[in-house]
Structure 1
Amino acid sequence: MTAAATTHQHTNCLRCGRKLTSTKSTATGYGPTCTRKVKAAAKAEIVATYKPHLVAKAEELIEQGGIVALRGRNVFQVVASNGVDTYKAARQGCTCAAGLKGKHVCYHRIAAHILSLAA
């Protein structure tokens, strides 16, 4: 992970779009209410559906602000693990290599699923 990725400050919540005021919120990109909603959604349905290591990667992606809603909280822009490439992800699919093959569910889709449940 690059230093630029860790020091990026968000001014609005990546989930609801409201203005962020606390230092912690601007660092993570989510306000306290949205953070709770995202975590609750992840635990409720996601843990029972997907493999634990993929859920952990999806939660990490969300915590680092690597996923942003594009259209009505159904389609998301996702940053790849290399920090350069981006994909479009939704509950139904992803434009990454794993998502295009459709053989396995990628963690980008799981992150999109978590955020769509938290909406």
Structure 2
Amino acid sequence: MTRCRYCNRKLRSARSIALGYGPTCRAKALKEARARVIAQHRPTTVDKAELLIADGGIVPLRGNRVWRVVSTDGTATYKTHAAACTCPAGVRGRATCYHRVAAELMALAA
């Protein structure tokens, strides 16, 4: 018997069992995870990440772990992951670039 990781109820559908959550609990868990990601980063960084997602500037390369992202001006592309990015800001590593935030948000949605 498999139980929901959020509410501990018994799961019945194959999809719910595979995900570990029922549909309602999955939505709640995703909402909470998204709020945690947004709270960890500067509002301007989150805004740029959401704009990147809305514009379709982030495409999965390997499942939902590595992504191809486009630069702000659209002249370059970079590989990114929630933990690292090949953009100039990501290579310097002083602050989290918006590409990484977008990758975190996209990984949650998958």
Structure 1 length normalisation: TM-score?
0.64
Is the contact between residue 41 and residue 114 of structure 1 (CA under 8 Å) also seen in structure 2?
no
Name the structure 1 match of 2:61: 70
Task: Tell me the amino acid that sits aligned with residue 36 of structure 2.
Answer: E
> 2: CA distance between counterparts of 1:58 and 1:81?
10
Count of residue pairs the alignment pairs up: 82
Q: Which has the larger radius of gyration?
A: 2
Question: Over aligned residue pairs, what C-alpha RMSD do you find?
Answer: 1.9
> 1: CA distance between counterparts of 2:72 and 2:50?
13
**Following TM superposition, by how much is the alpha carbon of 1:82 offset from its aligned partner in structure 2, in angstroms?**
1.3
Task: Tell me the amino acid that sits aligned with residue 111 of structure 1.
Answer: A
Name the structure 2 match of 1:113: 104
**Following TM superposition, by how much is the alpha carbon of 1:40 offset from its aligned partner in structure 2, in angstroms?**
4.2
Q: Which runs of 5+ in 1 are unaligned?
A: 1-35
% same residue: 48
Is the contact between residue 89 and residue 95 of structure 1 (CA under 8 Å) also seen in structure 2?
yes
Q: Which runs of 5+ in 2 are unaligned?
A: 1-26
> 2: CA distance between counterparts of 1:61 and 1:118?
15
Q: 1:1-119 alignment to 2 at 5 Å? A: 40=31, 43-119=34-110
Is the contact between residue 90 and residue 112 of structure 1 (CA under 8 Å) also seen in structure 2?
yes
